[in-house]
Amino acid sequence: MTISMYSASVPVFQHVLRNLSHVLGKAAAHVEARKIDPVALTQSRLFPDMLPFTRQIIIACDAAKNGVARISGVEAPKFEDNEQTFAELQARIQKTLDYLGSVPAAKFEGTDDKEITVPIGRDKTRIMRGEDFLRFWAQANFYFHVTTAYALLRHNGVELGKADYLVGANAG
Amino acid sequence: MTISMYSASVPVFQHVLRNLSHVLGKAAAHVEARKIDPVALTQSRLFPDMLPFTRQIIIACDAAKNGVARISGVEAPKFEDNEQTFAELQARIQKTLDYLGSVPAAKFEGTDDKEITVPIGRDKTRIMRGEDFLRFWAQANFYFHVTTAYALLRHNGVELGKADYLVGANAG
């Protein structure tokens, strides 16, 4: 098998989102064991003008979902973006995985050079080649928010290691 | 052009490392303008048992360099890992970019299914397909350390936005 627009996108987002779900499970267990208010983690920020943990998860999910929708042309469901608890964030990840799993690999054929219009901020757009959109935009944005979520948990004392992020439940 | 093991690796590492260099430039300007000891940033950590900023940069560079070396089979230079200052970290990024730029795209042909032996920790190895190594290991590891470095700077008050990470000097 050779690398393709499908193999470089959907399985990567799925793999990392499953590991993110594993990380969230550890965070939820952490607050439960210590009788900590979960909001101390879910609303935590690394700096006052950065987004809180909940938004990092939501944006990571959307980078995957909207990235795949723009490349494949398969319409993605819209969500309300009102997740607050670990359980709600886990459900958001699961709904994103459900969508990713529903997109046929065939929809990615020939998308390497497809022109994709990407919204930039509120009122600008940028046209990118499909492959450039995937490698320089969707993936970079996705990893940014997944890693920031991990960093927030580590900064707040949740016992995690890089293996939880890299291999998820296989980290033991 | 269709996606390939080369197009999904070298140009991505180059793009993100150049943006990381831009981010480091802003961090260096920040400490200079405010007469802050640069060590306050370069030795900062998000939690006591996490690696400091300098190591995040070094490991990001090595994820790119060693990732490309394992896939392409083109031997990579070894560095001393003794960078301490922003200028030394910038030189590390540049040396990594020099290596990446020296590897011919032809060396990536047929590496999708190449068996790659990956060191795991100090005394274990794992064999992965070339594409799996790239998408599930080298890239994930690379983005993890680049984003953690960015998060450390934001946490310490350096004025950065996601555009600095996504588009670098083009962020204005």
Question: At B36, which amino acid appears?
Answer: I
The pLDDT tens digits for B53-72 are 999 999 999 999 999 999 99
* Per-residue model confidence (pLDDT) at position B122: 85
Longest Cα separation, chain B: 52
* Per-residue model confidence (pLDDT) at position A172: 56
- Residue A2 within any structural domain of the chain: no
* Per-residue model confidence (pLDDT) at position B172: 56
> In this structure, are residues B140 and B59 in contact, taking their beta carbons and an 8 Å threshold?
no
- For chain A, the straight-line distance linking the first and the last C-alpha, in angstroms and rounded, comes to 30
| Both tokens assigned to B165 | 């990470």
Torsion angles phi and psi, residue B63, rounded to 5: -60, -40
Q: Which residues from B are below 8 Å from A112, CB to CB?
A: 1-3
* CATH code assigned at B57: 1.20.120.450
Between CA A64 and CA A88 the distance in angstroms is 18
Domain span at residue B75?
Answer: 10-170
Between CA B57 and CA B63 the distance in angstroms is 10
| Both tokens assigned to B126 | 């794992």
Report, as an integer, the average pLDDT of A36-58: 98
* Per-residue model confidence (pLDDT) at position B113: 97
- Residue A3 within any structural domain of the chain: no
CB-based contact B3 A5, cutoff 8 Å: yes
Between CA B135 and CA B119 the distance in angstroms is 16
- For chain B, the straight-line distance linking the first and the last C-alpha, in angstroms and rounded, comes to 30
* Residue B152 to residues A14, A43, A151, A171, B53, Cα–Cα distance (Å): 27, 18, 9, 25, 7
- Residue B120 within any structural domain of the chain: yes
Q: Which residues from A are below 8 Å from B1, CB to CB?
A: 112-113, 131
Between CA A164 and CA B5 the distance in angstroms is 26
Number of cross-chain residue pairs from A and B with Cβ atoms under 8 Å apart: 102
Strands B124-129 and A115-120: unpaired
Number of other residues whose CB lies within 10 A of the CB of residue B161: 11
- Residue B1 within any structural domain of the chain: no
Q: Using the predicted structure, report yes or no on whether residue A170 has a pLDDT greater than 90.
A: no
Task: Give the ipTM of the model, two decimals please.
Answer: 0.97
**Residue to test with chain A: of B111, B142, B145, B147, most A Cβ within 10 A:** B147
Which residue, among A42, A27, A29, has the nearest Cα to A84 in the 3D structure? Answer: A42
CB-based contact B3 A4, cutoff 8 Å: yes
Per-residue pLDDT band for B120 (boundaries 50, 70, 90) equals confident
> In this structure, are residues A100 and A37 in contact, taking their beta carbons and an 8 Å threshold?
no
Mention every residue, 6+ apart, whose C-beta is less than 8 A from residue A132. Answer: none
Torsion of CA B30, B35, B36, B42, to 10 degrees: 60
- Residue A49 within any structural domain of the chain: yes
Chain B within 8 Å of A74 (Cβ-Cβ)?
no
The pLDDT tens digits for A88-146 are 999 999 999 999 999 999 999 999 999 999 988 789 999 999 999 999 999 999 999 99
Greater confidence, B63 or A171?
B63
Closest CB to A147: pick one of B4, B7, B148: B148
Chain A within 8 Å of B151 (Cβ-Cβ)?
yes
* Per-residue model confidence (pLDDT) at position A121: 79
Chain B within 8 Å of A139 (Cβ-Cβ)?
yes
The pLDDT tens digits for B121-159 are 789 999 999 999 999 999 999 999 999 999 999 999 999
Report, as an integer, the average pLDDT of A54-59: 98
- Residue B2 within any structural domain of the chain: no
| Both tokens assigned to B6 | 């080369």
- Residue B22 within any structural domain of the chain: yes
Q: Chain A: residue nearest B147 by CA?
A: A144
- Residue B147 within any structural domain of the chain: yes
Report, as an integer, the average pLDDT of B13-25: 98
Mention every residue, 6+ apart, whose C-beta is less than 8 A from residue A167. Answer: A19
CB-based contact A135 B162, cutoff 8 Å: no
What secondary structure, in 3-state letters, does A83-112 show? CCCHHHHHHHHHHHHHHHHHCCHHHHCCCC
> In this structure, are residues B135 and A16 in contact, taking their beta carbons and an 8 Å threshold?
no
Chain B nearest C-alpha distance from A85 (Å): 23
Chain A within 8 Å of B26 (Cβ-Cβ)?
no
Chain B nearest C-alpha distance from A16 (Å): 8
Report, as an integer, the average pLDDT of A53-71: 98
* Residue B33 to residues B26, B28, B29, B37, B158, Cα–Cα distance (Å): 10, 9, 6, 11, 11
Domain count, chain B: 1
Chain B nearest C-alpha distance from A100 (Å): 17
